[in-house]
Amino acid sequence: MMVIQPVGPSCQYQISSAPLQTIENISNLQGLLGRVVVYPNDLESDPNTLQFGLGFQRLDLQLSGSNGSYAPLDKDSLLGVSLYYGIEKGYLLFKNLDPVGDLLNVVPNMRDTYIVQNAELKSQSFTDKNYSDNAAYVQINGSNGPRDYFFHFPNKEITTIPLGFNAGVLIHEYSHMVAQYLFHNKRSEAGKNLSSDSENTLASFEEGFADYFAFLATGDPGFFHCSFPLGEGDRDLSHPKSLTPAQLNAINTSIDFDSHDGGAVWASAQYQIGQLIGHEANGRSLVRFINNLASCTGLASSQAQINFNVLRNCHLQALGSSGNSRIQQIYQSAFGSAGGF
């Protein structure tokens, strides 16, 4: 399938054919990882929509080509194909790093995942604002069990690379799904009832975890800024960062808390560790880390206080003999000065 592919740092792209290895029905963009769909209305206008996955429609694709080699002919087809390509790129990355990262062995109904293109979502919890220029992974607990969604919200103001064409953004969202199944779903009821600062710490770490895997798949530590200018927070992984007292205070108090702030620090620390021991080795350790995180933190069975120190220790455990003192220094430099540990 002809798609826009990232080729390394500094927002470089190529337009060429890439195999979609998990696609089963090209005309429906349906594959092992889910299905690209559209929904004509506000997704929250009917509670059954997200709970039961009702009312979604297939994307009306226009493709050229044959014999397994296709190309999108219009913008929405290109976008739909890009969405599936990005999700699959994330899937293959985790699977190839470590078999425990193969979500097809974990998610019981992955084919039922909906990748919603240009989703319209009005949420009261977000001041009735139409979501735009954003993407999200969400698991909805319906009466038939959990349903997984990737939402791509319409492009409104981005003048560079829209999020749907930024594979890094989609891999970021896929990483949240990995975290959901390999970590959150293993938390006990007690382990889900944490203090807000612990939850904020976990949310921050997860954003950084997702950013790091987006970098691993795209090779671009600045993938986020291909869509958003650098002025809107520094998410470039190659820029060393440390948690500021204000950010730590936000984590502890939930006032002005943004999980992406702490996440950027976590991701930059992982980038430095990867530079030290190799990014593939670090990526592999992080797959093991997320898979063991519920038990490592004790959240698989009980409540626990989570801070960056706890997370560091779990990562060092996953790294095994690779967890040398230099890595501890990187963590210390990123989180220690603000009192994280």
CB of 111 to other proteins, least distance (A): 21
| Residue 15 is a binding residue for other proteins (CB under 8 A) | yes
30-31 and 23-25: which strand pairing? Answer: antiparallel
Strands 63-66 and 69-72: antiparallel
Dihedral angle, C-alpha 321, 178, 280, 237, nearest 10 °: -100
Q: Looking at beta carbons only, is 44 or 74 nearer to other proteins?
A: 74
For position 69 contacting other proteins by CB under 8 A, the verdict is: yes
Determine the interface stretch with other proteins among 52-60, 185-193, 314-322, 327-335 (rule: CB under 8 A).
Answer: 52-60
Nearest to 112 by CA among 54, 193, 42: 54
Residue 84 engages other proteins in binding (rule: CB under 8 A): no
Query: Can you tell me the distance from the alpha carbon of 282 to that of 271, in angstroms, rounded to the nearest whole number?
Result: 9
Inter-residue contact 152 to 173 (CB < 8 Å): no
- DSSP annotation of 336 reads I
Query: In angstroms, what is the minimal distance from the CB of 39 to other proteins?
Result: 11
Instruction: Tell me whether residue 13 or residue 335 sits nearer to other proteins (CB atom).
Output: 13
The DSSP call for residue 30 is E
Question: Minimal distance in Å, beta carbon 196 to other proteins?
Answer: 36
> How far apart are the two ends of the chain, measured CA to CA in Å?
48
Residue 28 or 49: the one with the smaller Cβ distance to other proteins is: 28
2 near other proteins (CB under 8 A):
yes
Q: How many residues bind other proteins (CB under 8 A)?
A: 35
Positions that interact with other proteins (CB under 8 A): 2, 4, 11-16, 27, 38, 57, 59-60, 62-65, 69, 71-76, 78-79, 117, 155, 158-162, 165, 227
